[in-house]
Structure 1
Amino acid sequence: MPRVSLTQLTAALRESWGPDTCAPEDVSSWTEANPSRGQCATTAIVVHDYFGGDLVRGEVHVGGVQVDYHWWNLLPDGTDIDLTRTQFSSDEKVTGRVVIPRPTGATRLDREYAFLANRVATKIS
């Protein structure tokens, strides 16, 4: 991996998001006006590729009912990095915080992660 600053990585990620890097259940609500929609898991794993640390997962609640999960990063220096928090409307609340292991083996987002990781690598190389 090339050395990259968090600012450079953030810019490359934001330029790389699209409906094809979005979680399948969020594709219908992904828009250019809200490009971080559905990008949390793939984005968190790409950030982990470059900076390590921990993956963190919380629950997304609407009206007190859990409707989804949200992922972000905890860097080795203790800094929380959540590049996709802006995807949520005021009705969606992220609660809780659990450090989770990086997925190993096949996952449901492998294709989306591959698209995002490849686009980011091209932009920062």
Structure 2
Amino acid sequence: MNRLKKALCQSWSIHSSTKWTADNPSKGQCGVTALVVQDLKGGDILKTLCKEGWHFYNQLNGQRCDFTQEQFREPLHYADILSSRKEALMDTNKEQYEALKKNVMTYFIHKNLL
């Protein structure tokens, strides 16, 4: 999981979320990240309602994996509601999804991790 987290952190950009900033690179990346993680690792997409709306993350092997939790200043109170790719895609768009997936795959290829 550490390699995946590092790949995601290196891959987030303004092209994968318009809310991205250098100070908070995971901002707005939850839906697109949940989709790419599911592509690579399988599992389920979960959601929790927060101030900004729905927050998406993954469940892998029965364990919650929230790769974008640091975007929030305060800890979330997770509801772990089962979601879907369709709902997570409504939080992003096809271009942002493709940009993040391409960047993550390129990271893995350059690091010889595939």
TM normalised by structure 2 equals: 0.83
Q: Secondary structure of 1:116's partner?
A: helix
Match of 2:7 among 12, 37, 48: 12
Separation (CA, whole Å) in 2 of partners of 1:93 and 1:48? 21
Q: Which structure: larger Rg?
A: 1
Residues 80, 93 of structure 1: alpha-carbon distance in 2 compared, 3 angstrom cutoff: closer
- Percent of matched pairs sharing the same residue: 32
Between Structure 1 and Structure 2, the one with more strand by share is: 1
Matched with 1:72 is 57
Counterpart in 1 of 2:112? none
Q: In structure 2, list runs of 5 or more residues that go unmatched.
A: 110-114
Query: Secondary structure in 1 aligned to 2:100?
Result: helix
Q: CA deviation at 1:10?
A: 1.2
Q: Which of 95, 98, 109 does residue 81 from structure 2 map onto?
A: 98
User: Quick one: distance in 2 between partners of 1:15 and 1:42?
Assistant: 14
Matched letter for residue 118 of structure 1: K
Which residue identity lines up with residue 7 of structure 1 in the other structure? N
Find the partner of 1:123 among 102, 107, 114: 107
TM-score by length of 1: 0.76
- Read off the aligned partner of 1:112 and give its amino acid letter: Q
